[in-house]
């Protein structure tokens, strides 16, 4: 990666991590805090946690399409402004409904499609998956850091302070977009790449459907299993919730060092499909292992390592493959559909995982996860190896970056 591509990957993945921080940071502590709010109801706690993903899912496609037409940076900035406003609303004194309104407004800053499309614009084909690995890694790292930081932040500054903190970070993110993220000369998609495809054609494109099925299954399984895994760490490992970072942080960091060799091998050899299928198969093995392994602390730690290796590989590869398969004039829209299915997977995973854990038992959560991974493997097995192509928008700037 040349300096321009590296700067784009680091800066845009930090913006993407901000979105995930808004989702993950309150998870370990909000259920406790909500009991102090007027209007508390345990069902409303679930709505507060889930409405962020719901508004994200609804707005990803419009944001992606708008970024195709009006440029990536303006749309990302609008999303960050909405995210900051939502954070400050959630921090205001009030009842649980006030927090819910703030979370919905946070989610309305649905910038994921625009960010990933922009990163695709700013990187050459041979480096795109490596660039997307920064985004995928930011999700795993943000999740782990949220588990570590949330209890301490809640103790120091309270829930309102945590929301203000995320709002200030969003405003700082606008500065990153304006002055750190490299610029690409935007040419309206219909003029530069030919007619803009219809949204329906993007939704029913068979190759994109396979990838969207994949991201839905991946995040459904992620949310479902984390309904059960934290309880297992308490019961089998004797770890209090505040000590779970001692497991999560090492396995996530170690997984980062393990994920890159297969990704780079796939890029060099043109074997991206094989790497993707291998990661899905690893995730299937992890889910099957958890059916009984969650009862044993040592096995749980080992299986979590396998989970994060597969998860980070897939998080890096899937958006890169979407950007490669999608029509150039509809890249933002395609990534909007992709991020919508991701958000729907997150919402569905928590609900299904909780239902199975309550009515059937913890092993059923992992058996269900294994079934979803098996279905994804079958769907992905017939996918085509994507052809490489170079982004016309950035050819000149990337060549300049190589010469600097």
Task: Give tens-digit pLDDT for 152-186.
Answer: 888 889 899 999 999 998 898 899 999 988 876 54
Is 20 part of any domain?
yes
User: Region 382-403: what's the mean pLDDT?
Assistant: 54
User: Based on the structure, what is the number of domains in the chain?
Assistant: 1
Average pLDDT over residues 16-31: 76
Tokens found for residue 361: 């038992």
Q: What is the pLDDT confidence band of residue 388, given thresholds at 50, 70 and 90?
A: low
390 lies in some domain: no
What is the CATH number for 93? 1.20.1250.20
Q: Which pLDDT does position 194 carry in this prediction?
A: 56
pLDDT in tens, 338-378: 888 988 887 777 778 877 887 888 899 999 999 999 999 99
Give the span between the Cα atoms of 402 and 231, in whole angstroms.
50
For residue 48, give both structure tokens: 């507060």
Q: Which pLDDT tens digit goes with each residue over 304-321?
A: 999 989 998 898 888 878
Alpha-carbon separation of residue 391 from 7, 185, 329 (angstroms): 17, 12, 11
Range of the structural domain that residue 17 is part of = 3-383
Q: Which residue has the higher pLDDT, 289 or 62?
A: 289
Residue 41 confidence (pLDDT) above 90: no
Distance between CA atoms of residues 208 and 319, nearest Å:
10
Collapsing DSSP states into helix, strand and coil, what is residue 392?
A: coil
The set of residues, in sequence order, having a beta carbon less than 8 Å from that of 398 and lying 6+ positions away, is 2, 4, 5, 124
Whether 389 is covered by a domain: the verdict is no
pLDDT of residue 191: 40
Rounded mean pLDDT, 59-78: 89
Tokens standing for residue 352:
């299904």
Compute the distance between CA of residue 290 and CA of residue 226 in angstroms, rounded to an integer: 12
Give CA–CA dist 169/134, Å, rounded: 19
Residue 403 is assigned to a structural domain of this protein: no
Q: Is residue 401 included in any domain, yes or no?
A: no
The pLDDT, as a whole number, for residue 352 is 82
Q: How far is CA 125 from CA 324, 389, 391, in A?
A: 8, 6, 7
In a domain, 404, yes or no: no
- Residue 395 is assigned to a structural domain of this protein: no
Kindly state whether residue 356 falls inside one of the protein's structural domains: yes
The model's pTM is: 0.76
The pLDDT assigned to 26 comes to: 81
């Amino acid at each position: 990666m040349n300096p321009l591509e590296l700067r784009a990957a680091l800066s845009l993945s930090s913006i993407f991590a901000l979105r995930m921080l808004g989702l993950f940071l309150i998870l370990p502590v909000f259920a406790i805090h909500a009991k102090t709010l007027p209007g508390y109801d345990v069902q409303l706690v679930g709505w507060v946690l889930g409405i962020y993903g719901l508004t994200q899912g609804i707005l990803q496609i419009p944001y992606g399409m708008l970024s195709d037409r009006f440029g990536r940076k303006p749309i990302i900035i609008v999303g960050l402004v909405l995210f900051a406003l939502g954070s400050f609303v959630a921090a205001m004194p009030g009842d649980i409904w006030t927090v819910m309104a703030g979370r919905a407004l946070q989610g309305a800053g649905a910038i994921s499609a625009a960010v990933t499309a922009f990163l695709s614009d700013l990187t050459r084909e041979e480096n795109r998956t490596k660039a997307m690995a920064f985004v995928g890694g930011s999700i795993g790292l943000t999740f782990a850091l949220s588990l570590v930081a949330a209890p301490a932040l809640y103790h120091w500054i309270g829930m309102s302070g945590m929301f203000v903190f995320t709002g200030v970070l969003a405003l700082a993110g606008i500065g990153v977009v304006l002055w750190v993220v490299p610029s690409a000369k935007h040419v309206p998609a219909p003029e530069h790449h030919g007619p803009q495809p219809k949204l329906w054609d993007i939704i029913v494109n068979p190759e994109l459907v396979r990838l969207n099925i994949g991201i839905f299954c991946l995040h459904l399984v992620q949310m479902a299993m984390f309904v059960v895994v934290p309880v297992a760490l308490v019961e089998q490992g004797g770890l209090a919730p505040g000590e779970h970072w001692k497991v999560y942080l090492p396995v996530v960091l170690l997984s980062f060092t393990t994920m890159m060799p297969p990704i780079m091998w796939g890029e060099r050899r043109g074997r991206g499909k094989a790497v993707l299928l291998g990661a899905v198969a690893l995730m299937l093995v992890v889910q099957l292992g958890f059916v009984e392994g969650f009862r044993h602390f040592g096995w749980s730690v080992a299986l979590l390592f396998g989970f994060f290796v597969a998860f980070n590989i897939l998080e890096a590869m899937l958006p890169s493959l979407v950007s490669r398969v999608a029509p150039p004039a509809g890249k933002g829209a395609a990534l909007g559909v992709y991020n919508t299915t991701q958000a729907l997977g997150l919402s569905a995973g928590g609900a299904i995982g909780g239902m199975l854990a309550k009515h059937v038992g913890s092993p059923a959560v992992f058996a269900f996860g294994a079934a979803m991974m098996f279905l994804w493997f079958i769907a992905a097995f017939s996918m085509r190896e994507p052809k490489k192509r170079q982004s016309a928008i950035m050819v000149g700037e990337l060549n300049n970056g190589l010469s600097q």
